[in-house]
Structure 1
Amino acid sequence: MTNTTSNASQRARPYAGLPWLVLALACASQFMVILDASIVNVALPSVREELGFTATGLAWVVNGYLLSFAGFMLLGGRAADLFGPRRMLVAGLLSFSVASLAGGLATTPEVLVAARVAQGIGAAMMAPATLAVINTSFTEPNARAKAFGAWSASGGVGGMVGALAGGAITTGLSWRWVFLINLPIGAVLIVVAMMSLAGTRPGRRGSLDLVGAATGTAGLAALIYGVMQSADHGWTSAPVAGPVVAGLLLLGVFVVVEARFAGQPMVPLRLFRIRGVAVGNGMLLLFGGIAIAMWYFSSLFLQNVLGFSALQAGLGQTPAAVTFMVIARWAAALLPRTGVRPLVTAGSACFLAGFGWLSLGHADSGYVTGVLGPTLLIAVGIGLTFPTLMAVATADVPEGDAGIVGGLANTASQAGGSIGLAVLATAAGTRAAASEAAGSSPVDALAAGYDLVFLMAAGLGLAIAMVSLLLPRHRRRG
């Protein structure tokens, strides 16, 4: 009886001992992935000056990372299931670190872009593995929800630190150190992963679905590439329509292969019979556009309309980032008691109020009333919804599918962000051009474009609330 009670106690307290180290590893790895997505932005002018990038080529320092990260996420998730999350996390950390070294030592634009693509592939191996580790290490609902809250908050820390550290490192040292800083971090995390995950399952027997991997990865990459091109070309132009159509066709082939021909499919379609997986990923796709509107376009508003420097804009977004981290942890603790709908509904109300308020901004707006107030409201909404949606999209799945489900959730969020950025940027540009043609000043025209983006983001928040109605009602456990 004593042994049974002791074992049950250990299962009910998964944070005791080793699980804390596992959670710290997952959070630190996610922090590293998000940090690298944001820290490079501030360094781009220095990179362009030293390496001689063209304006179009410079964008691929960012896009190369995002494209490979989103495109290879499903492959990374299935590989975590087949070969084990420990192996894939270590392999991802090693690949990411080596690519960071190559980026920090790059002497030509081609080498730096190639290094960024390789970093994205390493990140695509890491991100699903961290979710698989959390899913398999924290099975008790309260502990699992708290773990997701910590994982979500770590991404917020990465984004905030990246925005601030990028300027400080570039100014005090060199742009090369925004890449080289990953080497000591990666080395420590590899050692921790080898120690803390030594007892985890090694994976399961099986072979990788090569046809599914090729069509799925190529389809996602082509689709996202085409959408990215829409910022510079019209939606019906060949540089946009060609890749988008090719991507959709490849994804159609991928679905047919997975449904009819793959013996061990990369993405088992049976997973979408789990309502949380299907609905959760749909909500994450919408959420990606909200996140872009908040962090990317509010930064542009601060710089292009209110005249903030890049570093000042990063500092101006810090209160919202801190709010997000605090609320994410709190929401994760509430989730097992309240269920999904109340948190998503409250988050959507914050999106409607915050983005509606932010859409009133103009060149004469003050920071406190024009930006700080509404972004704090939006940050509360993000903190309530993001860990909730990640928990929903990865819950109730077999342990052997934890990696691919984590890959699906990350892919949905990243793809939503990429598509959202293209759509919102096009809408902002069109509205700004029309406003300037009507006689507005350039700054007022830009403000009008960003205001439209914020109204569209409010609509996405409402859409998330509507989709959440498809989830089953929460039932309290006895």
Structure 2
Amino acid sequence: MGLSEAGSVELSSVETQSPEPKAAGEPSGEFEWTRKHTITLTVLCLAAFLDAIDITVVNVALPAIKEGLGFSQSSLAWVVNAYLILFGGFLLLGGRVGDMIGRRRVFIWGVVAFTAASLGSGLAQSAGTLTVTRGLQGLAGAFVAPMTLAILNGVFPEGKPRDKAFGIWGGITGVAGAVGLILGGLLGGGPSWRWLFYINIPIGIFMVLAALRFIPNDRPERTTTRAFDVVGAVTGTGGISLLCYAIAQVDHHPWGSGRTVSLLIASALILGYFVVHEARIASQPLVPLSLFANRSVLGANVVSALCGCAMFATFYLATLYQQQVLHFSALKTGLGFIPLTVLLLCAAPVGPKLVTKFGMRPVIAAGAVVSAAGLALFARISADGGLLMDIILPSVVLSIGFGILFIPMTMAALNGVPEERSGVASAMVNMTRFVGGSVGLAVISTIATMRTNHLLDESHPALESLNSGLQIGFAVAAGLMVVTAVAALALFREDGRVPAAGASESLPEAVAVGK
């Protein structure tokens, strides 16, 4: 889950006894990849992986957790929701704090907090305790996640070094959701669900020790720490958290209920004021809206939100299909995601190479189209289907498409962004993917449930009704990926180049331009 840190030299230079990396603007030909870079990248990938994996790792193990701690059916969802609400709500604040006080510092303390909360979750003896510690995991993760991308962007210079680092980081991050389902099945159906949390502890300890030794200390300029946008922090964090909460409780309070409508209106009003405050009032805004003048940043965040809508729902629907239609065990369900995981890892490094050759616009659009094709195959599932044609084949196509577009989308979010704003820019693309995913999951699952209930009311067989609902859900997700392709074509420039975000100095015009 998310964590973050910072310290004392510039991020673009790495303290090492080996040859030091060059600043982000220097030619990649002068850069020498050392052992220190490898360890730094390993730590950042592990942190991003843990942040993402903890969103899905408990899903398959929820029945075992319910039995072990005596959760009611209505309260069980908060094992997931407590994490999601605080993680999504505090991402922007986490990114800004890293920019202000140092990314390594925030990273390390975030990892420490996440590791301690993981221990608390593993030791939990009551439903209430686990809910609280899961929320603390999400809160810590919100400070770690933005730092991984911001630190990586500072340590590795533009060109082949950064493309390689992003390829590795993106591949590992992109498969985290699927790996979470696999681990949930293996551990939840094996040793004990508690090991879903205990496994974070040695990894967290390693990350802290390695970060202290290898991640460069960054010391923000004093001018960035003199003014903190308290109003922006409160309204931005509060509005996003309230939105996440409103979405999380739709299972028990439908979209049209007075409670949900009131929460959504309140969230919209708070976030509306947040935008006005950031644009017109704050002297040092939490999120400078001028960043969105950069077509790359704008396009990346729109694409991120749409991809999140489709992919969060896909994991959920695929899990339901395997367990409730095909009647797979938790272990077999987890293993069913292995092809998707492996192929995502294989496809991820291809994206940056294609961007260098063809530009951002066509690569992201093509990846979205291929992803839509995979989801269209998922929409053909049948009640008497099987693993090969209904799970593995769609997963192969989907993983290739999403693997190609994920890293270019992430790179675009930081393209042309000044160094002192890279933390909040990283937080934004994480937040849009996460909040988009939460909205997409809630909306698509509601559509699928409505279809299932409609068929049940007409006396159709239960299994066929459930399968038909899932088909509709996958079809909607496929449509969202088509919209993603259209958005990429509309928002990114034709040649894949973008202007710097309101900066007067010469900044890299596009990830698409290889040095």
| CA distance in structure 1 between the aligned counterparts of 2:283 and 2:84, rounded to whole angstroms | 31
Give the residue type in structure 1 aligned to 2:295.
R
Contact 2:370 2:397 in 1 (8 A): yes
The alpha carbon displacement at 1:10 in A equals: 6.7
Aligned to 2:149: 131
Contact 1:82 1:207 in 2 (8 A): no
The alpha carbon displacement at 1:9 in A equals: 6.9
Output aligned runs, 1:300-311, within 5 Å.
300-311=320-331
| CA distance in structure 2 between the aligned counterparts of 1:351 and 1:183, rounded to whole angstroms | 35
Residue 97 of structure 1, aligned match among 115, 119, 138: 115
Contact 1:14 1:138 in 2 (8 A): no
Contact 1:145 1:335 in 2 (8 A): no
Which region of structure 1 is more displaced relative to structure 2, 334-343 or 307-316?
A: 334-343
Aligned to 1:420: 440
Aligned to 1:279: 299
Q: Within the alignment, does 1:471 sit opposite 2:471 as a pair?
A: no
Q: Which runs of 5+ in 1 are unaligned?
A: none
| CA distance in structure 1 between the aligned counterparts of 2:216 and 2:291, rounded to whole angstroms | 28
Aligned to 1:363: 383
Aligned to 2:265: 245
Q: How many residues align?
A: 474
Contact 2:232 2:286 in 1 (8 A): yes
| CA distance in structure 2 between the aligned counterparts of 1:166 and 1:451, rounded to whole angstroms | 24
SS at structure 1 position matched to 2:464 = helix
The alpha-carbon distance between structure 1 residues 14 and 133, as it changes in their structure 2 partners (threshold 3 A), is farther
The alpha-carbon distance between structure 1 residues 451 and 201, as it changes in their structure 2 partners (threshold 3 A), is same
Aligned to 2:128: 110
| CA distance in structure 2 between the aligned counterparts of 1:14 and 1:221, rounded to whole angstroms | 43
The alpha carbon displacement at 1:346 in A equals: 2.1
Give the residue type in structure 2 aligned to 1:145.
D
SS at structure 2 position matched to 1:230 = coil
The alpha carbon displacement at 1:13 in A equals: 3.0
- CA RMSD in angstroms comes to 2.0
Aligned to 2:465: 445
Which region of structure 1 is more displaced relative to structure 2, 453-462 or 351-360?
A: 351-360
| CA distance in structure 2 between the aligned counterparts of 1:169 and 1:466, rounded to whole angstroms | 40
Q: Within the alignment, does 1:215 sit opposite 2:217 as a pair?
A: no
SS at structure 2 position matched to 1:72 = helix
Give the residue type in structure 1 aligned to 2:65.
V
| CA distance in structure 2 between the aligned counterparts of 1:448 and 1:188, rounded to whole angstroms | 46
Q: Within the alignment, does 1:86 sit opposite 2:104 as a pair?
A: yes
The alpha carbon displacement at 1:427 in A equals: 0.2
SS at structure 1 position matched to 2:415 = coil
Residue 406 of structure 1, aligned match among 421, 426, 430: 426
| CA distance in structure 2 between the aligned counterparts of 1:380 and 1:408, rounded to whole angstroms | 25
Output aligned runs, 1:47-446, within 5 Å.
47-202=65-220, 204-446=224-466
* Residues 285-344 of structure 1, C-alpha deviations (whole Å, 9 max, x = no match): 000012123222112111111221121111111101110111011222332222112222
Give the residue type in structure 2 aligned to 1:234.
P
Aligned to 1:461: 481
Output aligned runs, 1:31-46, within 5 Å.
31-46=49-64
| CA distance in structure 2 between the aligned counterparts of 1:300 and 1:91, rounded to whole angstroms | 37
The alpha carbon displacement at 1:466 in A equals: 0.9
Which region of structure 1 is more displaced relative to structure 2, 183-192 or 369-378?
A: 369-378
* Residues 444-470 of structure 1, C-alpha deviations (whole Å, 9 max, x = no match): 111111111111111111111111122
- Alignment identity in percent? 37
Contact 1:22 1:133 in 2 (8 A): no
| CA distance in structure 2 between the aligned counterparts of 1:357 and 1:171, rounded to whole angstroms | 29
The alpha carbon displacement at 1:11 in A equals: 6.1
| CA distance in structure 2 between the aligned counterparts of 1:143 and 1:420, rounded to whole angstroms | 34
* Residues 378-422 of structure 1, C-alpha deviations (whole Å, 9 max, x = no match): 111110111111111121100000000000000000001100010
The alpha carbon displacement at 1:157 in A equals: 4.4
TM-score by length of 2: 0.88
Aligned to 2:9: none
* Residues 73-130 of structure 1, C-alpha deviations (whole Å, 9 max, x = no match): 0000001100111011001101101111111222222211111111001100000000
* Residues 332-381 of structure 1, C-alpha deviations (whole Å, 9 max, x = no match): 23322221122223212212322222211111222212221112101111
Q: Within the alignment, does 1:19 sit opposite 2:37 as a pair?
A: yes
TM-score by length of 1: 0.94
The alpha carbon displacement at 1:174 in A equals: 2.5
More helix by share: 1
Contact 1:306 1:365 in 2 (8 A): yes
Give the residue type in structure 2 aligned to 1:152.
G
The alpha-carbon distance between structure 1 residues 354 and 9, as it changes in their structure 2 partners (threshold 3 A), is closer
| CA distance in structure 2 between the aligned counterparts of 1:313 and 1:82, rounded to whole angstroms | 43
| CA distance in structure 1 between the aligned counterparts of 2:410 and 2:322, rounded to whole angstroms | 30
| CA distance in structure 2 between the aligned counterparts of 1:11 and 1:113, rounded to whole angstroms | 50
* Residues 240-262 of structure 1, C-alpha deviations (whole Å, 9 max, x = no match): 11211111111011112112221
Contact 2:239 2:267 in 1 (8 A): yes
The alpha-carbon distance between structure 1 residues 273 and 241, as it changes in their structure 2 partners (threshold 3 A), is same
Give the residue type in structure 1 aligned to 2:147.
A
| CA distance in structure 1 between the aligned counterparts of 2:301 and 2:177, rounded to whole angstroms | 22
The alpha-carbon distance between structure 1 residues 70 and 179, as it changes in their structure 2 partners (threshold 3 A), is same
